């Protein structure tokens, strides 16, 4: 059976973080093709988890088509994407409407395609590629571009906060999620 697993993420905050994607195509449970990368420009309003999920699906479908795959079962842990692709949900977000149209256009090119939702823990392969994309992306992130979307310094860059209130940044580093900690470490 031809299987495509896809996953997207937006870290360290959603929306407005670093949106990354990952996918893996398997035949007989062996990874044949894989891909990962940035879904869009980091730290922009476009950077959302849903945007990243669609980008993962599009990249995976395109890879399969380029390699002559015409029958496919697609697995993802995004209920929104799976239900929109199967017609159970309408697309209401302007941010993802164009991506949905692209994914639908690609999916229509397969002779046989099915979309199946799976729990996150069963999507570990695509998730690992999405996380690898994030780890690569933060190596080249300028802390001046990281704008905090919450808290008393909402709208300020990490670099700016480190100069204004290093104790707050230190508190965020101690209490934030692991991905936020990695980005803050760049500024300190």
pLDDT in tens, 125-180: 999 999 999 999 988 877 777 777 778 888 888 888 888 888 887 887 788 777 77
Q: Is there a contact between 38 and 133 (Cβ–Cβ < 8 Å)?
A: yes
Is the same domain home to 30 and 88? yes
Is the same domain home to 88 and 122? yes
Contacts (Cβ under 8 Å, ≥6 apart) of 1: 27, 28, 73
* Residue, of 177 and 96, whose pLDDT is higher: 96
The closest of 37, 36, 121 to 75, measured between CA atoms, is 121
Q: Inform me whether the pLDDT recorded for 187 exceeds 70.
A: no
Is the same domain home to 168 and 107? no
Q: What is the pTM of this model?
A: 0.88
**Structural domain span for residue 83:** 2-138
Is the same domain home to 148 and 91? no
Give 60-82 pLDDT, tens digit per residue.
999 999 999 999 999 999 999 99
Q: Is there a contact between 3 and 75 (Cβ–Cβ < 8 Å)?
A: yes
- Residue 186's pLDDT is what? 64
DSSP 135: H
Question: Residues of 67-80 as b/e, b for ≥16 C-beta within 10 angstroms?
Answer: eebeebebbbbbeb
* Residue, of 87 and 157, whose pLDDT is higher: 87
């Amino acid at each position: 059976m031809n299987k495509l697993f896809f996953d997207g993420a937006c870290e360290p905050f959603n929306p407005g973080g670093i949106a990354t994607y990952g996918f893996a195509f398997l035949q007989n449970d062996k990874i044949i093709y894989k891909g990962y990368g940035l879904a869009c420009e980091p730290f922009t309003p476009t950077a959302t988890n849903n945007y990243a999920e669609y980008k993962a699906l599009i990249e995976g479908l395109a890879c399969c088509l380029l390699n002559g795959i015409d029958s496919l079962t697609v697995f993802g842990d995004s209920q929104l994407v799976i239900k929109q692709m199967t017609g159970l949900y309408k697309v209401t977000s302007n941010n993802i409407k164009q991506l949905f149209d692209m994914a639908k256009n690609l999916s229509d090119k397969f002779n046989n395609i099915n979309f199946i939702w799976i729990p996150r823990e069963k999507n570990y392969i695509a998730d690992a590629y999405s996380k690898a994309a994030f780890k690569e992306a933060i190596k080249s992130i300028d802390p001046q571009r990281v704008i905090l979307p919450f808290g008393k310094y909402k709208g300020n860059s990490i670099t700016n906060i480190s100069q204004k209130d290093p104790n707050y940044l230190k508190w965020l580093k101690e209490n934030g999620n692991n991905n936020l900690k990695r980005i803050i470490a760049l500024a300190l």
